[in-house]
Amino acid sequence: MTSSTIAPPASLSANDPCWCGSGRKYKRCHKHLEGRIVAGEVSPYRPVPAHIPRPPYAETGIPVRWDEPRIKSPEIIEKMRFAGILAAEILRKAGEKVAPGVTTEEIDEYVHQLTIDADAYPSPLNYGHFPKSVCTSVNEVICHGIPDSRALLDGDIINLDVTCFINGVHGDTNATFLVGNVDPASRQLVKVTEECMWLGIESVKPGRPFSDIGKAIETHAKKFRYGVIRSFVGHGIGEQFHTDLQIAHYFDPRATTVMRPGMTFTIEPMISLGGWQNKTWPDHWTAVTADGKRTAQYEHTILVTDDGHDVLTAPGAVSPSAPWTR
């Protein structure tokens, strides 16, 4: 049995022996972690039917890097649009499952099934040995949370990060959802984080440097004295889950690479109620805020067009004549 957050007995005082049995005083052992998320039990990998095409890392867990063109062909772009719309629909349905008492394991099972029912491969599964089909990041977890037996609590916030691999390309999107009755500060954080993402997207224009994206995001976040996580960035995407493009969500004057029509990448700001510093759990995946403050995230896959941008993970039409549509 695992608990969802660290919660000491109500009668425990700072100088009492810690509840964990370490023999140390509570104030020197677990008090600083009071209220933090703790890991639950992680179930084995879920199988993917043999007929579903899979990315190169699916069997080995090791991403295969190659020099993928930054400028995508029209065919690749349309395939990415199809993958993006599928990811967006799965994210929407998964979000409807979010409720107090639901485990992140149950959400993973649902996302996995929706993905394989669409003859797609859940991109996170075995990417760098990640053990699940979706990332579930709760409260102070910034990103890469591993679904487990932890049940969501009333008042939590949770980010669901969905990526699908289908027809040889990936579509990547995420959103943060409210669990039951959420406090006003967390609600505002979630709202502002989504606004940050859209302001970053609106700054995407051909001929402009990538630093424009981070500037737009950071400027808005600072109005609320929020932290902008620096250790994790947006990324190029296409036939590979991650390509060499890196998109910082804070202003970095060194980000002088110019946006060009045909480029595809994600914008996925992670905004915190506190500082931008992070720590990583012993599972080597789960990233949390160093100060334990809550964080939220939103993400879309973006295409640079001749006159601006297009959101590939937003609902939209795909040509019915495309050979991969069903």
Question: In this predicted model, what pLDDT tens digit does every residue of 61-111 receive, in sequence order?
Answer: 999 999 999 999 999 999 999 999 999 999 999 999 999 999 999 999 999
pLDDT of residue 317: 42
Question: In this predicted model, what pLDDT tens digit does every residue of 218-249 receive, in sequence order?
Answer: 999 999 999 999 999 999 999 999 999 999 99
Residues 198 and 228 in one domain: yes
Question: In this predicted model, what pLDDT tens digit does every residue of 242-301 receive, in sequence order?
Answer: 999 999 999 999 999 999 999 999 999 999 999 999 999 999 999 999 999 999 999 999
Where are the alpha helices (H) located in the chain, listed in sequence order?
Answer: 26-29, 57-60, 74-96, 104-117, 184-202, 211-222
Residues 2 and 102 in one domain: no
pLDDT of residue 30: 47
Question: In this predicted model, what pLDDT tens digit does every residue of 131-170 receive, in sequence order?
Answer: 999 999 999 999 999 999 999 999 999 999 999 999 999 9
Q: Is pLDDT larger for residue 141 or for residue 318?
A: 141
Residues 250 and 197 in one domain: yes
Residues 11 and 88 in one domain: no
Q: Is 41 domain-assigned?
A: no
pLDDT of residue 1: 26
Q: Is 167 domain-assigned?
A: yes
Q: Domain tally for the chain?
A: 2
The average pLDDT across 9-25 equals 66
Q: Is 322 domain-assigned?
A: no
pLDDT at 7 over 70: no
Instruction: Specify the pTM.
Output: 0.89
pLDDT of residue 33: 57
pLDDT at 3 over 50: no
What's the whole-number average pLDDT of the chain?
91
Residues 4 and 146 in one domain: no
Most confident of the following: 15-29, 35-49, 97-111: 97-111
Residues 106 and 198 in one domain: yes
CA torsion sign for 165, 190, 290, 36 is negative
pLDDT of residue 10: 55
- Among the listed residues 210, 178, 151, the one whose alpha carbon sits nearest the alpha carbon of residue 294: 178
Residues 31 and 68 in one domain: no
Residues 97 and 21 in one domain: no
Q: Is 86 domain-assigned?
A: yes
Q: Of all residues in the chain, what percent carry a pLDDT higher than 70?
A: 88
Q: Is 321 domain-assigned?
A: no
Is the CB of residue 266 less than 8 Å from the CB of residue 235?
Answer: yes
pLDDT at 325 over 50: no
What CATH number did the domain enclosing 227 receive? 3.90.230.10
Question: 6 lies in which domain range?
Answer: 1-35
Is the CB of residue 58 less than 8 Å from the CB of residue 299?
Answer: no
Q: State the number of CA atoms in the 13 A half-sphere of 196 facing the CB.
A: 35
pLDDT of residue 29: 59
Q: Is 43 domain-assigned?
A: no
The average pLDDT across 110-126 equals 98
pLDDT of residue 319: 43
pLDDT at 42 over 80: yes
Q: Is 123 domain-assigned?
A: yes
Residues 29 and 54 in one domain: no
Angle at CA of residue 306, ends 301 and 311, nearest 5°: 20
Q: Is 192 domain-assigned?
A: yes
Q: State the number of CA atoms in the 13 A half-sphere of 286 facing the CB.
A: 21
Residues 61 and 170 in one domain: yes
Residues 19 and 72 in one domain: no
Q: Read off the tokens for 195.
A: 């606004």
Q: Is pLDDT larger for residue 6 or for residue 40?
A: 40
Residues 109 and 8 in one domain: no
